[in-house]
Structure 1
């Protein structure tokens, strides 16, 4: 039997991430992988967007700077340093998991590496801390290579995991992606796209689920960008991985 724990977009909510991880059988209280994790019987998938806090208040909390200013190079440097420190911590755990921790490549990860697009949040927050041309700092080479190695999709049997959705174009973060709202609404308007592409179930992040993880009524997909609501997804696979897994929403906050 295979169990996969899927956790939605992190967006520098490191405290929530570690609480979520330690609530599973995957990671012990010291942040090390358990025997179940190392053998691969239990695995972990993060849906990407490790970086860029969602709100200006979260930047302030992360850096300890009141009234965080996304135009201030000193503030940006502090935000970058904080995230680099936590990314290095996560990478140490990742490296110890024998290949059983998987992290998908999100559009914010892409933007921080390439600087092709200057991103902000729906809350009016600008994400400049990893853009040297805007007063930020470049990713360290080792972390840059690690993040660049993240896959854009993972397929287990006929279950699909990706940052945005099942369409190949959902994983191309170009001008069309940022000019089109479809990548935020497809799961409501066209959930049939998951079986249309040959999958029995899909797990996706990217779109914030303010009320918690959304399970499609017809059990075709789960939208799991809900880390701040204290929810993660547990998938239990039977011997035949081509069959639909059993999906269960878990809470890690009391």
Structure 2
């Protein structure tokens, strides 16, 4: 029996992320993986998008700058520095138990590694702190090397973890991805994608929904997938999984902390 602890899109809200890991008994007082994580009994999955605060207020919380000005190079350097500090801690945490801690590549992570597009918030702030063309800085090489190891898809039998959806096309963050509305709408308009992909259950992020984590059930009231971009509501997802059983998923719940 394993427990999967699934953490939604972080978007540089590292304080809440660390709180979630502590609440899930995955992080000890020294910032190390706890014994259940070290033993692999707990499997921690980050669903992607570690970087880029989601709003002007979130940039202010990260940097302490009121107001945060993305046009000020010093502000960009502070935003980059604060994210790098926590990414260093996350990398150390990961390397202490790489068999049990997993990071998926989100579109914002990919954009930091390959800054060919300029992403932004709904309020108009541009995420350019890691774009040297716009006054930002390169992510340090060892962090780039680490993030480049993040997979786009993790499967455990018929259980899937990926950033956006079951569609393979949604795992490649090119111009078409950003011009297509379906990455944000698929789970409302075509939830049958999960079953069509031959999956028992899927865990996805990328899109916030009202009231936090959404656990979707099919017509037979069976849970089919979860949308977990809900760290801002202080929730993470737990899945109890027993690969010795014909139906290995023994329980799914959104956990407040």
TM-score, normalization by structure 1: 0.96
Cα shift readout 1:94-119 (whole Å, capped 9, x = no counterpart): 11114210000000001111111100
SS of the aligned residue for 1:119 comes to coil
Q: In the superposition, relative to structure 1, how do residues 134 and 98 fare at CA in structure 2: closer, same or farther (>3 Å)?
A: closer
> Corresponding residue for 1:202?
202
> Corresponding residue for 2:88?
88
Give the aligned length. 252
CA distance in 1 between partners of 2:128 and 2:26 (Å): 33
The alignment status of 1:105 with 2:105, answered yes or no, reads yes
CA distance in 2 between partners of 1:239 and 1:138 (Å): 42
- Deviation larger for 240-249 or 75-84: 240-249
CA distance in 2 between partners of 1:233 and 1:244 (Å): 16
Q: In the superposition, relative to structure 1, how do residues 190 and 78 fare at CA in structure 2: closer, same or farther (>3 Å)?
A: same
Please list every run of 5 or more consecutive structure 2 residues that lacks an aligned counterpart in the other structure.
none
SS of the aligned residue for 1:216 comes to strand
- Deviation larger for 143-152 or 241-250: 241-250
Shift of 1:25: 2.4
Q: In the superposition, relative to structure 1, how do residues 104 and 241 fare at CA in structure 2: closer, same or farther (>3 Å)?
A: farther
> Corresponding residue for 2:149?
149
> Corresponding residue for 1:248?
253
Shift of 1:29: 2.5
CA distance in 1 between partners of 2:105 and 2:235 (Å): 21
Q: In the superposition, relative to structure 1, how do residues 241 and 41 fare at CA in structure 2: closer, same or farther (>3 Å)?
A: farther
CA distance in 1 between partners of 2:30 and 2:255 (Å): 21
Which segments of structure 1 move beyond 4 Å, counting only runs of 4 or more?
none
SS of the aligned residue for 1:89 comes to helix
Correspondence for 1:220 among 224, 233, 236: 224
> Corresponding residue for 1:233?
237
Tell whether the 8 Å contact from 1:77 to 1:129 is kept in structure 2 after alignment. Answer: yes
> Corresponding residue for 1:48?
48
Tell whether the 8 Å contact from 1:200 to 1:244 is kept in structure 2 after alignment. Answer: no
> Corresponding residue for 2:26?
26
Cα shift readout 1:166-219 (whole Å, capped 9, x = no counterpart): 010010101110001100000011111001011010000000124110010321
Aligned 1:116-131 pairs, distance under 5 A: 116-131=116-131
> Corresponding residue for 2:211?
211
> Corresponding residue for 2:167?
167
> Corresponding residue for 1:69?
69
Shift of 1:79: 0.3
SS of the aligned residue for 1:146 comes to helix
SS of the aligned residue for 2:5 comes to strand
> Corresponding residue for 2:8?
8
